[in-house]
Every structure is written in structure tokens, then in C-alpha cells.
Structure 1
Amino acid sequence: MVRFRAKLLDVAGIIHLSRVVATLSKVAKTCVLRLTPDKVFFVLSDRTAQATGMRIWCNLEQGNFFDDYRIEGRDETNQILLELVTEQLSRALKTALTAASVKIKLTNKHTPCLTLEINTQASATRTRSVTHDIPATLVPAKLWSDFEEPPMPRYQVSICLPALKTLRHAVDRLKNLSNYLILSANNVGNFSLEVETDDVSVRTQFKDLDNPVVENCPVSEQTGDPEHMVSARVDIRKFGQFLQAQQINPTRIVCNILENRAVHCFVLHDDMHLQYFLPVVVR
């Protein structure tokens, strides 16, 4: 028997959680919600990852969102993994943006559900309650290893990206020219977006960006000129989906590139950490 119950009373926390889930819903039709005593994880479900090639890992410190949080898992790890439709959770949270409180609990209504009880102040003396039952599938323990944090690639360049709004504007112009986008960066703060076709080559360049040291990210041994541009080719639509993360007002966005092999993006916020692994398209 597993049990989960949580409560949000802070409007800012409700809005922020809603924005996080809305961002994920634009990329993943389904996700696995991994609940632990200290953190809440959203992981792109394995089936979706196989179909799109994109992997997503998002973790939230539960203490920064929930005013009450109780969990009873099946074993000593005290965790629960649920697979659910991301858009359904997003729609439910959007109805809570002006709520006085939101209660979230695991229920069994012919099938396991993540139930949201949303209470709003209808008047000075009257409250209104709305309940959303989101069907969920309990992930068996034998599959939990599929939803551990993915290993970090050994990258050659790590660079802080420009504002997502600026990148979206550039990508929106380039996507009319090609289905693929070449991301390039070096270790002296240069970054570029480029499309190449038989008829045209267009590049947008950014300079004087930071090359950060990201905790827990292994750096490959640097060889050659630090001004050498390390590049990887990705699906321009998938990169555009990543840019939807502007909804959560990140404090920093970091892109790691391994030449023609891996693109790994971090979206960093004070109380959350979102990772995207974009599939590289070989010419």
C-alpha cells in the first residue's frame, strides 16, 4: 500500500509549479512523476523518449513548493513512481492559479489517480471546491532504474545561452529555411545558430557569453585552440520545444556540446533544475 498527500497554500508556488508542468507538457505527452521524501521529479517516459529521441529530467525541492508533504512508499527507499498524461496535470493546475489552496493526493477510483482538490474563495463567506482526477499508472519497482537521473555526457564546451526570448526569435526565422539547426560554441564565449541548405547558409552569432563550470558535469580534456567552434546538428523543432522553458523564468540556461555526438541543456532556477538531452542528427 502506498500513500501520498501534499498541500500548496502559497499562490506563487502554485503558479510556479503550473508553469513547470506547462513547459513539460509542450514536449512530452506522458511523463513519470517520481515522488521521494525530499524531491519531486518529472521524467520523460521511456516510450516517449524512444519515439522522439529527446530525454528530459526535471527535479524540484519539495520544501520550496509544498506546505505539507507526506509520502509512504512500498520499501525502504520510500518513493512512488506514477506515469500520467502531462497535459491533464497541466490543465488541472491552470484552474488553480487563483486558488486559496491545492491538495494533491494519490487515490484509487477504480484505477489509481492523482487527485487535485482545488479550493477558491468564491466570496467573503463562501468557498468553492473543484476536484480533478488524473488517471495514473503505478510504475513497478523493477522498472525504477529506467527513471534514474541520466549520466552526464563528457562535453567539450559549456556555455551560458542568451535569453530564451532572443533565441526563439532567431530560431523562428531559421526554421522556415531548414529542418535542422547547427549549434556551435567555443571556450571564449562565442555561440552560433546556423542552417545550411543547397541554396543558402544563414548564421546568427552571439559573443561575450560566459563559459561556466557546471557542478557534476564532467569536462572532456580540452585539445587545440579554445577558439575552435564545437558543433552539433539537431532537429530545429526539438530545439524550439526546449525554448518553451522561458515560461519558468530561468536564472541561467547552459548548453553543453560534444562534437557531433551530444547536446545537453540545463535550465536553472532557484528551486528547480531542468535538463534536456537533444538527439544529434548526423549528416
Structure 2
Amino acid sequence: MKFRGKMTEAMCMRQFANVILTIARLSKLCIIRIAKDFMYLIIVEENVTIGKPMVWGVLEQTHFFNEYSMAGVSEEQNEIYLEFETDVMAKSLSSLRVAHGAKSVKMKLTNKRVPCLTFEIQLSELSNSRFCVHDIPVTVIPRRDWTTLQEPLIPSYDVSIHLPSLKLLRTVAERMKALSSYIVLLANHEGTLILKVETPDATVSTHFKNLTVESSGGHEDSSDEFFSARVDIKKFVQFLTSEQVNPVKVVCNIVDDRMLALFLVHEDVILHCFLPAVAP
């Protein structure tokens, strides 16, 4: 297995570091899937040996890398799957998030007693040190486990609605988190979104109106009907920290009483977050 890539565009380096920081806020561990045309970031539900991905990130390599070459485990299975600790990588790439922090960064798969993703960062002339190397230990995922790490199949959704400002939503959800461990998201085809928590003593809700509805989802005759999903509020708040990626849009797909599928889109970066509905 071989992999080597190089980034020289300041915006791309900063964007890559922001994506890794977002992933670090969602989970302690992440699997990076390196393929010929794309790089995937996969988070599986914690404490589950074999489970469906909770987060599925897609990065188009031509957008980020000026140089990119890889050779997978075989010609037929030309991919590499590696697991790494997200906070270690996020800290190692912190200089990329600073204006004029780095001139370029090389990313490659190395073997330094253990497999590593090595980042060779050429710092800007404004820095005292000119060159910095970070070796991030990784675990190679065997081929027998690849089938559990494929993109989740999304059931036909009932409503697809654009979310308002993630910063605003996070402020609301953070306050609701003090009241309950779960939050209910309700939306209809008239562009109304409701965030609601329920306790034995009170029900608290916040309403957003006139939002963009992306698709009818086959419910043209019931535009005022609400569809909902009750999810873990901590995981929902964690997803809302992805605001630093500066998404072009964030779409919330609701499969009634089954799933919340959140899609964050920014140029050549797509992050999908799948939150299963929890019964009351």
C-alpha cells in the first residue's frame, strides 16, 4: 500500500483542517478511506464492534491536492482503510487553520515501527520554524471489515428542508440540552421547522418558518403535515459544531419516526450525519 499527496493552496489546507476539526468534535476515532478519486471520512457508532456509519464525509481529491498518488491493497481493491485518533490529527493540523501559517503540506502513509499518516508541513516565512513533521499512528483496517464501512442506504425521506444558521440552532439546542437528553425535530412542506423537548413538567419548542424545502418527497397533497424524528440531543449538538466548515447549505432529511439524515455541503466537501430515531 502506498499513498502520497501534497496541498499548496492556503484555502484548501485550511478547509481540510477545518473538516478534520469537525470530525474530531463528533468522535474520538475516525476511519479514512483513501481511493483514487475521493477521500472518505467515516465515523461508526462508538462502542459498536460492527455497525453502520454515523458520519460519512466525502472529499474530492482534485479539489484539495495538487499532487496525489496511491496504490491500494490490490489492483482489484485499489483502496486503503485506516483508523486514526481524531484529536491527534486535529492538533497536528492546527497551523493550517491560521492565516499565513503554512506554505504547503505533504501527507503520506509511512511505516515508523507502526503504520503512520505523516504530515510534513512547510511553515510560512513568518514562522520561526520552517518545517514541521507530525507522525499520526494509524490502524490498518483488514479487507474482511470493509463491507461494514460502505455508504449507508437512505430510506425514502418524508421531508427535506434547509436548516437555518447552525450557530443559531446550536444556541437553541444547547439550552434545550439542559432540559432533556432527546430533541424532536419536526418539519413540513410549507417550510416550517420545529425543535422541541419534552419533560414531565413542560414542553419547550422553537419554530422556524419560510425555510427552503428541497423536495416534495411524495407528499404533495399534505404540505402542512409534520414529519418528525426524536434523536439524541448531544449528537445533534455535536453535528451543529460543523459551522466552521462554512457550508453552502445544510439539509435536514426526516424519515418519519425512523431517522434524521443531515447533509452538509461546501464546494467539494460533503458531510452526511445519520441519527436514528429514539422511541419515547
TM-score, structure 2 length as denominator?
0.92
CA contact 1:30–1:48 (8 Å) conserved in 2: no
For residue 183 of structure 2, give the secondary structure of its aligned residue in structure 1: strand
Structure 1 counterpart of 2:170: 168
Please report how far the alpha carbon of residue 225 of structure 1 lies from its aligned counterpart in structure 2 after TM superposition.
2.3
CA contact 1:54–1:279 (8 Å) conserved in 2: no
For residue 244 of structure 1, give the secondary structure of its aligned residue in structure 2: helix
CA contact 1:6–1:68 (8 Å) conserved in 2: yes
Q: Which runs of 5+ in 1 are unaligned?
A: none
Structure 2 counterpart of 1:5: 4
The answer as to 2:81 corresponding to 1:81 is: yes
CA contact 1:43–1:57 (8 Å) conserved in 2: yes
Q: Work out the number of aligned pairs and report it.
A: 276
CA separation in 1, counterparts of 2:124 and 2:199?
A: 57
Q: Deviations over 1:68-125 (max 9, x none)?
A: 001011222321111111111111111334111111110001110001111113469x
The answer as to 2:93 corresponding to 1:93 is: yes
Does 59-68 or 93-102 show the bigger shift?
Answer: 93-102
Q: Which runs of 5+ in 2 are unaligned?
A: none
Task: Detail structure 1 runs of 4+ shifted over 2 Å in the superposition.
Answer: 45-54, 121-124, 221-225
Structure 2 counterpart of 1:271: 268
Matches within 5 A, 1:4-153: 4-45=3-44, 47-48=46-47, 55-76=54-75, 77-97=77-97, 98-122=101-125, 128-153=130-155
Please report how far the alpha carbon of residue 213 of structure 1 lies from its aligned counterpart in structure 2 after TM superposition.
3.4
Please report how far the alpha carbon of residue 9 of structure 1 lies from its aligned counterpart in structure 2 after TM superposition.
0.8
CA separation in 1, counterparts of 2:126 and 2:169?
A: 44
Matches within 5 A, 1:125-274: 128-213=130-215, 219=217, 221-222=218-219, 225-274=222-271
For residue 158 of structure 1, give the secondary structure of its aligned residue in structure 2: strand
Partner amino acid, structure 2, of 1:29: K
For residue 254 of structure 1, give the secondary structure of its aligned residue in structure 2: strand
CA separation in 2, counterparts of 1:239 and 1:175?
A: 10
Please report how far the alpha carbon of residue 176 of structure 1 lies from its aligned counterpart in structure 2 after TM superposition.
1.8
CA contact 2:53–2:152 (8 Å) conserved in 1: no
TM-score, structure 1 length as denominator?
0.91
Partner amino acid, structure 2, of 1:84: F
For residue 18 of structure 1, give the secondary structure of its aligned residue in structure 2: helix
Q: Deviations over 1:211-243 (max 9, x none)?
A: 1139xxxx4x43862211111111111110010
CA separation in 2, counterparts of 1:82 and 1:46?
A: 16
How large is the RMSD of aligned CA atoms in angstroms?
Answer: 2.1
Q: Deviations over 1:109-144 (max 9, x none)?
A: 1110001111113469x9621111111111111211
Partner amino acid, structure 2, of 1:229: F
